[in-house]
A and B are shown apart, each in its own frame.
Chain A
């Protein structure tokens, strides 16, 4: 393996390098701790590959610029944290509604509001899913290591392009600033494709008529297809409609396309769940602590398992239901007041034990191990 491929870099740099490897050629953002290193690295990397980096006046404009660039046919992204993620929500909803591919990095810090800029948290789990108003499709991936930030950023672009949906890469400050050795291998061929471009007769082209895969081909600017893009609920021709029988169909497709492609989207790590009496489920740095706690518990003769969603939203519900069916308890360590636990309670009613912390510190493996022992006693 070449030495250049193996590098000791922080998670935020791995994110930028993953984006460039995925073919991202446009970045617009407004720097904010603890995500700023993503912007910093993108500003250094994009000019080398003929890409464009713009520091905008704020987060709202950044998200608008990303959407505009993507409408122009380029793979585009932004990165932010805390209040910046809140500011991006309206335009994020626009991207979901108008089906414009884009990738949003959110490095979680202490909140609410400006909160604790340099302290880690995992308080945006629900916001990443429901931050923008209305029923909308969105994919959220949650890497737990520097290497996985690299590979999941690549996958985020692949999913976003393939399904014409915004994808959020969500990780906490600890993982964003953590320096680990990462193998910067080229993006897998199958994850490099751009969105499906419109082909065929220009006459009678309907920009939002989906193929059988529920995804409409994207009219490439300059190819001569007439198109119309709006945040208003629109029919296949791209123009607004409020006719209920049409709305049901178009919104139904918008929400249904993620379900159709569930197998492509879903990703999780399961360790020792088959015979587990207690399962620990977590993301980010809490998942790393959980991994160690579960390994220690096993050494101590406790049947513990780890279920870690890599695609956080849509949550890998079926796999979790199946793997947790035999367990008597599900421990959920998270750096918030209990957001993931709330979701898991739906799938494993009565079994969930939330281990929450929101003081700006991470959760230690020893705390998780203690809770594992408590729920079994």
Chain B
């Protein structure tokens, strides 16, 4: 049976969080899970708080929105305080060590990883969303790695496929390295 999971990917508008959420949602859906995805953004095309939530379950939930997070990604400082009502001690937060200067505070696990810096090193800062996805999946092992890679393959334009797969790989590597520490 699929475990109930609540995941939030948050950051600044234009960072590609809705795309990461869609890829993750599709990966879970291909496992046969019921996935409810919701989002919130500001009326600007770039910047401002942006977030996408996934509620994973075996069946369609009565209430499809996040109430108590299991995983929280914060990719920009502007999103650091935006989840205060649904963060809790049992969750894990993954934050960008460069763009998040004051991470959300609590008794929960916090991993600060250089997601944006890694994306820049790969050659495109805009790919930080996929680095983050790889890191989150690597840390949590919430989804089968091959399945996630397969979903990325199907979901991104061929022109950018190699870049995306490299970013996903880099994210997994960051997670592994942080595990060793």
Q: A118 contacts B43, CB within 8 Å?
A: yes
Chain A positions within 8 Å of B67 at CB level: 364-366
Residue in A180, A289, A364 whose beta carbon sits within 8 Å of that of B60 in the complex? A180
A291 CB-CB contact with B under 8 Å = yes
Residue in B36, B37, B40, B43 whose beta carbon sits within 8 Å of that of A33 in the complex? B43
Interchain nearest-CB distance for B98 vs A (Å): 27
User: Please, how many angstroms separate the alpha-carbon atoms of A145 and B64 in the complex?
Assistant: 9
Closest to A118 in B: B43
Residue in B29, B39, B62 whose beta carbon sits within 8 Å of that of A291 in the complex? B62
Contact-residue bracket for chain A: 20 to 34
Chain A positions within 8 Å of B35 at CB level: 8, 179-181
Q: What is the predominant secondary structure among interface residues of chain A facing chain B?
A: mixed
Chain B positions within 8 Å of A292 at CB level: 61-63
Q: A177 contacts B39, CB within 8 Å?
A: yes
Q: Quick one: which of B3-56 are within 8 Å of A by CB?
A: 22, 25-26, 29, 34-43
User: Please, how many angstroms separate the alpha-carbon atoms of A119 and B38 in the complex?
Assistant: 12
Q: A177 contacts B62, CB within 8 Å?
A: no
A61 CB-CB contact with B under 8 Å = no
B65 CB-CB contact with A under 8 Å = yes
Interchain nearest-CB distance for B55 vs A (Å): 10
Q: A174 contacts B43, CB within 8 Å?
A: no
Q: Quick one: which of A167-215 are within 8 Å of B by CB?
A: 174, 177-181
Q: A365 contacts B63, CB within 8 Å?
A: yes
Closest to A366 in B: B67
Residue in B22, B29, B37, B43 whose beta carbon sits within 8 Å of that of A178 in the complex? B37
Q: B42 contacts A118, CB within 8 Å?
A: yes
Chain A positions within 8 Å of B64 at CB level: 145, 178, 180, 288
Number of A-B contacts (CB under 8 A): 57
User: Please, how many angstroms separate the alpha-carbon atoms of A119 and B61 in the complex?
Assistant: 22
- Most chain B CB within 10 A, of A119, A178, A295, is at A178
Closest to B85 in A: A364
Q: A250-293 interface mask toward B, CB cutoff 8 Å, 1 = contact, 0 = none?
A: 00000000000000000000000000000000000100110110
User: Please, how many angstroms separate the alpha-carbon atoms of A364 and B68 in the complex?
Assistant: 11
Chain B positions within 8 Å of A118 at CB level: 40-43
- Most chain B CB within 10 A, of A180, A289, A295, A362, is at A180
A18 CB-CB contact with B under 8 Å = no
Residue in A117, A119, A179, A291 whose beta carbon sits within 8 Å of that of B63 in the complex? A291
Chain A positions within 8 Å of B65 at CB level: 174, 285, 288-289, 362
Q: B25 contacts A179, CB within 8 Å?
A: yes
Q: B41 contacts A295, CB within 8 Å?
A: no
Interchain nearest-CB distance for B33 vs A (Å): 9
Q: A288 contacts B62, CB within 8 Å?
A: yes
User: Please, how many angstroms separate the alpha-carbon atoms of A177 and B65 in the complex?
Assistant: 12
Residue in B26, B39, B40, B43 whose beta carbon sits within 8 Å of that of A8 in the complex? B26
Closest to B29 in A: A8
Interchain nearest-CB distance for A108 vs B (Å): 15
User: Please, how many angstroms separate the alpha-carbon atoms of A289 and B64 in the complex?
Assistant: 8
Interchain nearest-CB distance for B39 vs A (Å): 6
Residue in A117, A288, A365 whose beta carbon sits within 8 Å of that of B43 in the complex? A117
User: Please, how many angstroms separate the alpha-carbon atoms of A5 and B41 in the complex?
Assistant: 29
Interchain nearest-CB distance for B1 vs A (Å): 17
Closest to B35 in A: A8
Q: A283-315 interface mask toward B, CB cutoff 8 Å, 1 = contact, 0 = none?
A: 001001101100100000000000000000000
Q: Quick one: which of A344-377 are within 8 Å of B by CB?
A: 362, 364-366
Chain A positions within 8 Å of B62 at CB level: 288, 291-292, 295, 365
Q: Quick one: which of A101-139 are within 8 Å of B by CB?
A: 117-119
User: Please, how many angstroms separate the alpha-carbon atoms of A291 and B61 in the complex?
Assistant: 10
Chain B positions within 8 Å of A119 at CB level: 40
User: Please, how many angstroms separate the alpha-carbon atoms of A180 and B67 in the complex?
Assistant: 17
Q: Quick one: which of A70-124 are within 8 Å of B by CB?
A: 117-119
Chain B positions within 8 Å of A364 at CB level: 67
Interchain nearest-CB distance for A143 vs B (Å): 13
User: Please, how many angstroms separate the alpha-carbon atoms of A362 and B67 in the complex?
Assistant: 11
User: Please, how many angstroms separate the alpha-carbon atoms of A288 and B36 in the complex?
Assistant: 12
Chain A positions within 8 Å of B26 at CB level: 8
User: Please, how many angstroms separate the alpha-carbon atoms of A118 and B36 in the complex?
Assistant: 19
- Most chain A CB within 10 A, of B41, B64, B65, is at B64
A8-B25, A178-B37, A292-B63 known; 17 new pairs, CB 8 Å cut-off, are A118-B43, A178-B38, A179-B22, A179-B25, A179-B37, A180-B34, A180-B64, A181-B34, A181-B60, A285-B65, A288-B62, A288-B65, A291-B62, A291-B63, A292-B62, A365-B63, A365-B67
Binding site for B on A (CB under 8 A): 8, 33, 117-119, 145, 174, 177-181, 285, 288-289, 291-292, 295, 362, 364-366
Q: List 20 A-B contacts (CB under 8 A).
A: A8-B29, A8-B37, A33-B43, A118-B40, A118-B42, A145-B60, A145-B64, A174-B38, A177-B38, A178-B36, A180-B35, A180-B36, A181-B60, A285-B65, A288-B63, A288-B64, A289-B63, A291-B62, A291-B63, A292-B61
8 nearest interchain CB pairs? Answer: A179-B37, A292-B63, A292-B62, A291-B62, A117-B43, A288-B63, A118-B43, A178-B38
